[in-house]
Chains A and B, each alone.
Chain A
Amino acid sequence: MVLFSEGQGEGSAGGRRRKSVWAIGGGKGGSGKTFIAVNLGICLSRFGEEVILIDTDLGGANIHTFLGLSFPHRTLSDFINKRVGAIRDVVVETDIPNLGLVVGAQDLLNAANPKEPQKWKLIRHINSLDVDYIILDLGAGNSFNVLDFFLISENEILVVTPEPTCIENTYRFIKSAFFRKVKRVVSHYGVKEIIDMAMDQRNERGIKTPFDIIELAGEIDKSIGLKLEQELESFRPKLIVNQVRTKGDVELGFSMRSAFLKYFGISMDYLGYIVYDNDVWQSVQKRRPLVLEFPQSRASKCINEITLKLIIDKPFLFNSTR
């Protein structure tokens, strides 16, 4: 029996189910991206959905450790280095029903730094997997590889912990992702130059916000300005605050959403928070997923709640007036 099959290739949507790709990213290492990716995947699979977790942390893969699995003999390296022809060949089954896993590359050379065509081939193959949900666990940092995986997803999820450095990295990640997103859709050299300039915080033209880019692009060519405006409107990352200890930490999500709204002019969805819980530490030590090892823990309930919000695609707004 083929548990996880590949579709009929690009563009052949006939007969395939509606699939949703979620990316878990956020810039800073240690914020809990892999922990959240694994546990969200398990929660989804328990809803009866077929899920594949993909460790896209090229060069630093460790998602298998969170599932208590030893390093499998088939990994993303085999696909990137053309030892296998299709991504389904590197999907390994887990002992959790409906949950498959693609372990990331651990090579230091080729697979850790795939060339552009290799990366886009990988992305095409990921998109062709015929399952209900694909969860991408992203590596740390703002490299183009990380950003491109983030941007192909339907749910672009950011994980932040209540620490200034992590918050700073998260904003940097969001800005980089937006700049990458708009740069991919414009071909005009002058506009590309403006976007590059915006990456430098102290640029000579004083470009700071996405609106500045849109305005300048619009001055060069009105249609490009409008196009960038549409890109901004479709950019709607979602936020999870992890390791919450105080009410102030919970409110950080709302505060970041508000700051983001004023800066970008669009709303970021605050999906919720995960409490700081000793059970999390214990589950990681035991190499057992939290939602299986401690299903009644407070952190497990938070993850379940977030999964539900994502499934129903209506992040509710913690609004006391509703």
Chain B
Amino acid sequence: MKRIKEQTYYDLLEVPRGASIEEIRKAYRREKEIFSSDSVAAYSLLDPAELEKINAAIDEAYRVLTDERLRPEYDRKLDGGGERVFSGEAVGPPPAGESYPLREGLMGIPFPDEFRFTGSSLRGIRESIGFDLKQISQKTKISRQNLEWLEEESFENLPALVYIRGFIMEYAKALNLDPHRVADSYLESFHRWQQSRKH
């Protein structure tokens, strides 16, 4: 939580420390647009005096960060002063002209430890990415019927455990998920099913 006066120039422009001049220019244009007097995003939150103050701060940030002499000085001051600097995580929208592609997989976005990869959760992930079973079948060379059974956890119809593990790992790879974690989690259901058959 930082007040405007406590925000670094990088915070103000919402760019990481190592941002290039081009990134800074784009960020500046974006911020100026957001805090323009006719911006729908800002006008009802900030009054004209506050808008003016923010615009002045954004101008100042831009001036320093695009100046090849002032920026290294400012960086040294940040490093030396022990001030909190922007983590570089929260960056604004993509530059103008670029689209917002839906991710084609989830690798890199950690699932919580307690997340269970069951047949239904895998189906949910598949659908959210926009794949149908035909596409997964083409990618994995697993028949559509077997994929359906995997999602339904219809273990009585599926082949032996070793095959199920192979299938599920291929399926996970097709969704860009960690195949080992998915297989371990998914097979817990299989083992429960196996146990229940013994009783």
Contacts and interface: CB of A to CB of B under 8 A. Distances in A.
A and B associate in one complex = yes
Which residue of B42, B93, B123, B127 has the most chain A CB atoms within 10 A of its CB atom? B93
Interface string B115-142: 1101111011101101010000000000
B89 A168 contact: no
A167 B44 contact: yes
B147 to A, nearest CB: 16
Interface residues of A, number: 52
B44 A251 contact: no
A312 B98 contact: no
- Chain B at the A interface: mostly helix, strand, loop or mixed? loop
Contact of B93 (A308, A313, A318): A318
Contacts of A254: 30, 92-93
A321 B99 CA distance: 13
Contacts of B160: none
B162 interface: no
Nearest to B99: A247
B100 to A, nearest CB: 5
B40 A307 contact: no
Contacts of B50: 208-209, 263
B42 A255 contact: yes
A265 interface: yes
Interface stretch (B65-73, B76-84, B102-110): B102-110
Interface string A238-265: 0000000001001110111011111111
A258 B94 contact: no
- Chain A at the B interface: mostly helix, strand, loop or mixed? helix
A304 B124 contact: yes
A134 interface: no
Contact of B34 (A171, A172, A255): A255
B120 A48 contact: yes
Interface in A168-192: 168, 171-172
Nearest to B98: A320
A35 B192 CA distance: 37
Contacts of B3: 211, 265
Interface residues of B, number: 56
Given A254-B93, A259-B41, A266 B1 contact: yes
B127 A295 contact: yes
B156 interface: no
A305 B102 contact: yes
B89 A317 contact: yes
Interface in B31-82: 31, 33-35, 39-47, 50, 54
A186 B27 CA distance: 39
B4 interface: yes
A47 interface: yes
Interface in A276-322: 295-296, 301, 304-305, 307-308, 311-314, 316-322
A256 B109 contact: no
Contacts of A162: 40
A259 B45 contact: yes
Contacts of A171: 44-45
Contacts of A48: 116, 118-121, 124
A312 B50 CA distance: 36
A233 interface: yes
A261 B41 CA distance: 12
Interface in A61-75: none
A255 B39 contact: yes
A46 interface: yes
B45 A312 contact: no
B42 A259 contact: yes
7 contacts: A46-B123, A262-B35, A265-B2, A301-B130, A307-B128, A319-B91, A319-B94
Nearest to B11: A261
A153 interface: no
B34 to A, nearest CB: 4
Given A48-B118, A265-B3, A320-B94, A308 B100 contact: no
Which residue of B23, B95, B125 has the most chain A CB atoms within 10 A of its CB atom? B125
Contacts of A256: 41
